[in-house]
Chains A and B, each alone.
Chain A
């Protein structure tokens, strides 16, 4: 007897079928019915839970990661160009 026997049997095919909707699931952007279906499935499918958690963490990491700093000289160049535009506009 392994601890596998305590988890209700389910069809691995449903893991594949639900894969398409997991981003909408973590974004809270699913119709009630499908949302419940995934939630239900996840309640007895450990690999899917882990998959959803890692997908969610992935999205969070991208959302949280700080951006790349703009080099000061690039900002300075932009300021100069904008000033030129402003001057042209004032003359016109």
Chain B
């Protein structure tokens, strides 16, 4: 059994140590908001926060997260996430929506360290998050919008 803290709740999961965190979240804990897109850190669909920093859950063995704090889209809270989700809805960013949990988790990490990102900052922070529907233009606009909301 491996102990992890998921969205503030201590959990103990029955998984081999090499199991990627992604599958522990999705299959052991039923937290399906975090998505599988590639399994090799190429697409960002599986982005979660590990102690507040964005990581690709598909390449993070659960053993590396033992005892640590994991935040998924289901448990993501705080001003930045709220502002991002509101902006996502306001600008109707999603198309198929499959990539968007990961986009928001990456964007939240960006805003945590950079309250006024430029287009270039956004492109750099989100370049690891693929969107096959190419909602990129609206993602940029929504991140700006969320940043504005947060600055008040």
Are these two chains actual partners, yes or no? no
Tell me the A residues contacting B by CB distance below 8 Å: none
